[in-house]
A and B are shown apart, each in its own frame.
Chain A
């Protein structure tokens, strides 16, 4: 079964590739990336962001992430902040969608207040870091259009280079160039071009590990801003897949309980 599948792929791929436009090929790659990452159901992880400015001054962000996969829509995510101390217990609940704005609620523990916030602001810095909200929110196929550029080797890894164009007019980018590992179908590097089509940031994924024998997650995501000289190193730790999260863990009550 497996062998025949591989044979079929080998036989069919060149023909299919030839028949496709660059856009179709780009979309095909994006869908393959998505398909291979589907079915994880849920995970918990802790995240650390190390922010550095051009003078080398550092600042730390600690948070915990819970994500629930939603069939036929974007994921549900709950992020709770531990550091810096003044925002400890602040939590962000997001229901991302394949099309249109995400739903977001912010919990402010000092006032016990849950605020529905405008999520149209996708391009703004997340917690003062070099990651914009749109960089770390659920990456849905429908959020971009695609174009295949070429096969290339990136740092010794056979890659597929594609360009993707945000569908949302409120995105901070005109385009992104993404290098996808040809074998594992995971992103290894992304170049972000700002609204003036000038290279703004580069994101590099490092230390990929496989979970549940299928899902690849990078231990480190390093984002460098070429225009400001600032950088953010996002480190993921303590991944716990299929931890038993359900829909009930993603409502306003669980947002208040999260801490």
Chain B
């Protein structure tokens, strides 16, 4: 409440002088296979609403962005949720920038997995791909120098990952008990995290080096028996120090990409990396269409002990960009485990209808998932999703 009062004092005329935009979407998912667990159903209908308020003042040196998010889900009460995606004040100085509030930050270059991206927590109930993020309270100072951009982050307060509930598909088994998360730090979710990132480009090369010190966004899931004798998984958030590198070389029609991390946690340290290419064939078959071919290798030196399913995997995919009036796009790919038979397939397609509407489709399939694979509980959760979005 105090924050709101402060903002209102800072800029009279709030909510009248700025601009409103945003979207509302209707989503349906269908799961063709019988559910692996009780209470799960074979379909869902969902509504989401994300308005956006933006105002700038002081010769556009200062701005405020407010982005709340709401979702209602017909099946899973955990997926019915709300979040403040952004509520951030920005001051743009001469060759520096300051931000405070709830923000969203993306780091990285690869497509199959985002190893380096650490600031925001994953809003996992949104999509199993983990690309949707929760807003992160932060203070950021950014210096823009000839030798690159240097960002200092102080992350005030921690956001717990969202997990599908018992009725939801695409969940672990047993389900995660989100009400009893545990922390390594006795400051729990009030632990102050810090991050530092330098990014620059030199000719064809874009480089980012970052260091993070604080609560890991990736919880360990620890089985526990409740008083009532039910087994659930308790998220345990460790403290970590992570140093990361992201690198892209843009050489003509080729993009070469690498993300690598070294993470130290209480129980030891490990390295992980994702690297590969994207090659674009321009104007295929005498049309305006571009075809991008993608290949990436996903590695984690913990091997079978890795908490990620991607410890020795290959991603192969393509991206078709129609370059038409409707902005039609198709991205499809397979991630194959090199040690096991398991693989997953992913397709995302979208096109605009008129200037305010958009349709998108997703298909995700999991196959031959080995029992020890973290994805095993999703083995019967193949699904097709259709979304209709109205922008305003």
Binding site for B on A (CB under 8 A): 51, 53, 59-60, 83-88, 101, 103, 111-121, 123-125, 127-128, 170, 172, 248, 251-254, 257, 259
Given contacts A51-B325, A83-B355, 13 further A-B contacts (CB under 8 A): A84-B327, A84-B355, A86-B389, A87-B327, A88-B391, A116-B255, A118-B280, A119-B250, A120-B282, A121-B253, A123-B282, A124-B283, A257-B97
B57 at the interface (CB under 8 A from A): no
- Cα–Cα distance between A172 and B287 once the two chains are bound (Å): 12
Is there an interface contact between B358 and A86, defined as CB atoms closer than 8 Å? yes
- Find A118's partner among B201, B254, B288, B325 (CB 8 Å cutoff): B254
- Find A86's partner among B109, B255, B352 (CB 8 Å cutoff): B352
Is there an interface contact between A111 and B94, defined as CB atoms closer than 8 Å? no
Contacts A59-B355, A248-B144; A253 near B252 (Cβ below 8 A): no
The 0/1 profile, CB within 8 Å of A marked 1, for residues 91-111 of chain B is 010110100000011101100
Is there an interface contact between A125 and B323, defined as CB atoms closer than 8 Å? yes
Task: With both chains docked as a complex, state the minimum distance between the C-beta of A154 and any C-beta of chain B, in angstroms.
Answer: 30
B80 at the interface (CB under 8 A from A): no
Please report which residues of chain B, range 64-113, place their CB below 8 angstroms from some CB of chain A when the two chains form the complex: 90, 92, 94-95, 97, 104-106, 108-109
Binding site for A on B (CB under 8 A): 21, 23, 54, 63, 90, 92, 94-95, 97, 104-106, 108-109, 131, 142, 144, 149, 199, 201, 206, 248, 250, 252-255, 280, 282-283, 288, 290, 323-327, 352, 355-356, 358, 389, 391-392
Contacts A84-B356, A88-B21, A103-B201; A120 near B327 (Cβ below 8 A): no
User: Can you list 11 contacts pairing A with B, beta carbon distance less than 8 Å?
Assistant: A84-B327, A86-B389, A86-B391, A87-B327, A88-B21, A88-B391, A116-B206, A123-B282, A127-B327, A252-B199, A257-B92
Task: Collect the chain A residues with CB atoms within 8 Å of residue B199's CB.
Answer: 252
Task: Collect the chain A residues with CB atoms within 8 Å of residue B248's CB.
Answer: 116
Is there an interface contact between A248 and B94, defined as CB atoms closer than 8 Å? yes
Task: Collect the chain A residues with CB atoms within 8 Å of residue B106's CB.
Answer: 111-114
Task: Collect the chain B residues with CB atoms within 8 Å of residue A88's CB.
Answer: 21, 391
- Cα–Cα distance between A254 and B144 once the two chains are bound (Å): 10
- Cα–Cα distance between A103 and B251 once the two chains are bound (Å): 11
- Cα–Cα distance between A253 and B141 once the two chains are bound (Å): 11
Is there an interface contact between A121 and B290, defined as CB atoms closer than 8 Å? yes
Closest to A82 in B: B21
- Cα–Cα distance between A53 and B326 once the two chains are bound (Å): 12
Task: Collect the chain B residues with CB atoms within 8 Å of residue A252's CB.
Answer: 149, 199
Task: With both chains docked as a complex, state the minimum distance between the C-beta of A140 and any C-beta of chain B, in angstroms.
Answer: 18
- Cα–Cα distance between A103 and B290 once the two chains are bound (Å): 19
- Cα–Cα distance between A83 and B391 once the two chains are bound (Å): 10
- Cα–Cα distance between A257 and B252 once the two chains are bound (Å): 28
- Cα–Cα distance between A214 and B303 once the two chains are bound (Å): 67
Task: Collect the chain A residues with CB atoms within 8 Å of residue B21's CB.
Answer: 85, 88
Residue in B252, B288, B325, B352 with the greatest tally of chain A CB atoms within 10 Å: B325
Task: Collect the chain B residues with CB atoms within 8 Å of residue A123's CB.
Answer: 282-283
- Cα–Cα distance between A14 and B120 once the two chains are bound (Å): 69
Is there an interface contact between B255 and A118, defined as CB atoms closer than 8 Å? yes
Task: Collect the chain A residues with CB atoms within 8 Å of residue B391's CB.
Answer: 84-86, 88
Is there an interface contact between B131 and A111, defined as CB atoms closer than 8 Å? yes
Residue in A86, A120, A170 with the greatest tally of chain B CB atoms within 10 Å: A86
- Cα–Cα distance between A170 and B109 once the two chains are bound (Å): 25
Task: Collect the chain B residues with CB atoms within 8 Å of residue A121's CB.
Answer: 253, 280, 282, 290
Contacts A111-B131, A116-B206, A253-B97; A124 near B323 (Cβ below 8 A): yes
Closest to B50 in A: A110
- Cα–Cα distance between A88 and B67 once the two chains are bound (Å): 14
Is there an interface contact between B358 and A124, defined as CB atoms closer than 8 Å? no
- Cα–Cα distance between A87 and B391 once the two chains are bound (Å): 10
Task: Collect the chain A residues with CB atoms within 8 Å of residue B105's CB.
Answer: 112
Residue in B21, B131, B355 with the greatest tally of chain A CB atoms within 10 Å: B355
Task: Collect the chain A residues with CB atoms within 8 Å of residue B254's CB.
Answer: 118
- Find B288's partner among A85, A103, A117, A125 (CB 8 Å cutoff): A125
Task: Collect the chain A residues with CB atoms within 8 Å of residue B253's CB.
Answer: 118, 120-121
Contacts A113-B106, A116-B255, A248-B94; A124 near B355 (Cβ below 8 A): no
Contacts A86-B391, A120-B253, A252-B149; A53 near B142 (Cβ below 8 A): no
- Cα–Cα distance between A120 and B105 once the two chains are bound (Å): 28
Task: Collect the chain B residues with CB atoms within 8 Å of residue A103's CB.
Answer: 201, 250
Residue in A103, A112, A114, A127 with the greatest tally of chain B CB atoms within 10 Å: A112
Closest to A172 in B: B283
- Cα–Cα distance between A51 and B327 once the two chains are bound (Å): 13
- Cα–Cα distance between A131 and B199 once the two chains are bound (Å): 33
- Cα–Cα distance between A251 and B97 once the two chains are bound (Å): 12
Task: With both chains docked as a complex, state the minimum distance between the C-beta of A106 and any C-beta of chain B, in angstroms.
Answer: 12
Task: With both chains docked as a complex, state the minimum distance between the C-beta of A160 and any C-beta of chain B, in angstroms.
Answer: 32
Task: Collect the chain A residues with CB atoms within 8 Å of residue B250's CB.
Answer: 103, 116-119
Contacts A103-B201, A128-B325, A128-B327; A257 near B280 (Cβ below 8 A): no
- Find B201's partner among A116, A119, A254, A259 (CB 8 Å cutoff): A116
Return the 7 tightest CB-CB contacts between A and B, nearest first. A85-B391, A128-B325, A84-B355, A112-B106, A113-B106, A121-B282, A125-B323
